[in-house]
Amino acid sequence: MPTVFKHEKGHNPNDEAADIIAYIRHMLGELRTIAAGQSEDMLVYLIEMAAVEASDVVLRRKGPLYGEIDGNEPARVAVKTPRKI
């Protein structure tokens, strides 16, 4: 898990929060792989939706450094769709 020392010069709480959300996004990717291996298509879909939201949160928190997006515009995240819904 990302570690940021709060005493560091120039510490930005948004960066720390974004790093934690990015870690969650990574873990969701691992869970998606496990769910797909069990052919749990609805679970795969729900995990993908959570991953998209996590990516949006990271982009909003990181701001212009990572390509600021409009609040109404979805993040561009490649997601493999399930076989059936």
Predicted local distance difference test score (pLDDT) of residue 42:
97
Q: Which 8-state DSSP code applies to residue 70? A: -
Predicted local distance difference test score (pLDDT) of residue 14:
67
Tell which wins on pLDDT, 66 or 46: 46
Q: Is the pLDDT of residue 67 over 90?
A: no
Whole-prediction pTM value? Answer: 0.60
What's the whole-number mean pLDDT along residues 37-47?
A: 97
In this predicted model, what pLDDT tens digit does every residue of 11-38 receive, in sequence order? Answer: 566 678 888 999 999 999 999 999 999 9
Residue 68's pLDDT band, with cuts at 50, 70 and 90, is very low
